[in-house]
Structure 1
Amino acid sequence: MARRKKIYEGKAKVLYEGPEPGTLVQYFKDDATAFNAEKKDVIDGKGVLNNRLSEFFMTGLMNIGVPTHFIKRLNMREQLVRQVEIIPLEVIVRNFAAGSISKRLGLEEGTPLPRPIVEYSYKDDALGDPLVPEEYIIAFGWASQQDLDDIVALALRVNDFMSGVMHGVGIKLVDFKIEIGRIWDNDFMRLVVADEISPDSCRLWDVETGKKLDKDVFRRDLGNLTDAYTEVARRLGVLPANSAHPKPTLIN
């Protein structure tokens, strides 16, 4: 597929104009960032893995009736997606204490939470993506109360699906974040899961050992990030059990 006009470039992906109106090509980079991009590196093959894993999760969600922006994978690094209006929030679902909630509340990492907790952070790198309450979201017009009700319902359905899939391959879904976008069909607006779902946006721990299989490997210098992501892909059947690291190639 010929390269088209660049629409947007983020820390981990690039969006290009799609082949048809209302579509985009989402390209997965090998760049890894942490601590609001204070820590950076290029991890060979990371983009290939995240492309395949996000395809796996988005397709699974659509199969159970959860709407997403995903249309199809184009090659090893690119997906065709529907163009959406992104709501400027990161929607965080937590099943166990880890990361910032452990620091804020003094909870030991790994502590089971009484129920899945949904939090929101305002998408602004310059501000460090601060946590915001629903009152702020409604007051500033980022989303309506009905939107938030629908977002929580979507997030919890994603959590049910992801938790079950991961548990089936011996992985604990500690937490994850998603983005939600608006799509209009004529005058009808609906909310869909957008961006990506991958080990970049989840905390994944081995059920038996507690070994981290997510971006905390990079954040905390715990080993090779590609090895961790490859292990997730192998367990889910996205890669053959005996495959080597995927190389950064654009072939199908």
Structure 2
Amino acid sequence: MARRKKLYEGKAKVLYEGPEPGTLVQYFKDDATAFNAEKKDVIEGKGVLNNRLSEFFMTGLTQIGIPNHFLKRLNMREQLIRQVEIVPLEVIVRNFAAGTMAKRLGMEEGTALPRPIVEFSYKDDSLGDPLVPEEYIIAFGWASQQELDDIVSMALRVNDWMSGVMYGVGIKLIDFKIEIGRVWEGDFARLIVADEISPDSCRLWDMETGQKLDKDVFRRDLGNLRDAYTEVARRLGVMPTNVTHPPSKPTLIN
């Protein structure tokens, strides 16, 4: 029996056509990349962990009324999601200075910000996903002013919930990024959280030691990335019971 048609392959995930119209199968790879894919490796079991962790976060968002693309997990590496029209922006929420923000402003990493700051970057790997102001977003038609207001509100709600969840397991949510998709209902577009939420897209530091439990472990050669992600999963109670190296492609979903 033939496999489903592959629609898109990114650095960490593959999208296949879903079993029903308006759905996709999202497959999590073991690939790890950094610095716009200049640094690459394959971390066995990473895709399993990110699948389970993204399921945990998306399910939690659903429970508090934040709409998202997640429908159900299909197996250890795949989940069924809604098909959306992706807004071409990465929405970054920062609680503490780190990464590019700390470099841009000459701030010490870990400095608490006066309030959560929402930034936008334009999704284009060839340009390095440059930061863009709201004026650009509106002028170029990537999102309307009303959509931007709704995106900021949604991102801050996600931040409030995730910060509390991570605090409860001794982890400081430094920053994270999400993507937003449009689901069309006639002429009306509804905005929902899409893509994934995992240690690939967050900065997570242990509250006591400052140990990094996110992709900075890979970026900065700070240890074993799988161990870091496993620790996050363990603390959240979503530790997979069977982390195995997958077949090269997902199985057919009936």
The AA in structure 2 aligned to 1:238 is V
Q: Which residue of 1 aligns with 2:206?
A: 206
In structure 1, the residue matched to 2:50 is: 50
Residue 248 in 1 paired to residue 245 in 2? yes
Task: State the match for 1:236 in structure 2.
Answer: 236
Q: One-letter code of the match for 1:88?
A: P
1:181-206 CA distance string (max 9 Å, x none): 00012232110000000000000000
Q: Which amino acid aligns with 2:234?
A: R
User: What SS class does the counterpart of residue 20 from structure 2 fall into?
Assistant: coil
State how far apart, in whole Å, the 2-side matches of 1:247 and 1:170 are.
28
Cα distance, 1:82–1:103 mapped onto 2, change above 3 Å: same
Query: What residue in structure 2 maps to residue 216 of structure 1?
Result: 216
Q: Distance in 2 between matches of 1:85 and 1:58?
A: 18
Given the superposition, is the C-alpha separation of residues 201 and 2 from structure 1 closer, same or farther in structure 2, using an over 3 Å criterion?
farther
* 1:248 Cα offset (Å): 2.8
Residues 139-192 of structure 1 deviation map (CA, whole Å, 9 limit, x = unaligned) = 000000001000001100100010000000000000000000000122321100
Match runs of 1:191-202 below 5 Å: 191-202=191-202
Q: d(CA) in 1 for partners of 2:239 and 2:231? A: 9
The match for 1:145 is: 145
Whole-angstrom CA distance in 2 between matches of 1:8 and 1:235: 32
Q: Is the Cα contact below 8 Å between 1:47 and 1:248 reproduced in 2?
A: no
Query: 2:67 aligned with 1:67, yes or no?
Result: yes
Aligned-partner SS, 2:212: coil
SS in 2 for 1:204: strand
Paired residue for 1:31?
31
Counterpart contact for 1:33–1:40, Cα < 8 Å: yes
Q: Counterpart of 2:177?
A: 177
Residue 41 (structure 2) aligns with: 41
Q: Quick check: 1:103 aligned with 2:103?
A: yes
> TM-score under structure 2 normalisation?
0.95
Per the TM alignment, residue 239 of structure 1 is displaced from its structure 2 partner at its CA by 1.3
Distance 1:31 1:90 in 2: 20
Equivalent position amino acid for 1:83 in 2:
Q
CA distance in 1, matches of 2:133, 2:48: 35
The TM-score, its normalising length taken from structure 1, stands at: 0.96
Letter in 2 for 1:140: F
Deviation of 1:35 after TM superposition, in Å, equals 0.2
Instruction: Please tell me whether residue 134 in structure 1 is matched to residue 131 in structure 2.
Output: no
In structure 1, give the amino acid aligned to 2:47: G
Q: Gapped runs of 5+ residues in structure 2?
A: none
Name the % identity: 84
C-alpha displacement of 1:246: 1.6
- Offset at residue 9 of structure 1 (A): 0.4
**1:154 is aligned to 2:154:** yes
Q: Which amino acid aligns with 2:51?
A: N
Alpha-carbon separation, structure 1, partners of 2:243 and 2:232: 13
Question: How far, CA to CA, are the matches of 2:188 and 2:89 in structure 1?
Answer: 22
State the number of aligned residues: 248
Query: Structure 2: how far apart are the matches of 1:36 and 1:80?
Result: 27
Query: After superposition, what is the alpha-carbon deviation per residue over 1:78-123, rounded to whole angstroms, capped at 9, x for unaligned?
Result: 0000000000000000000000000000110000000000000000
SS in structure 2 opposite 1:239?
coil
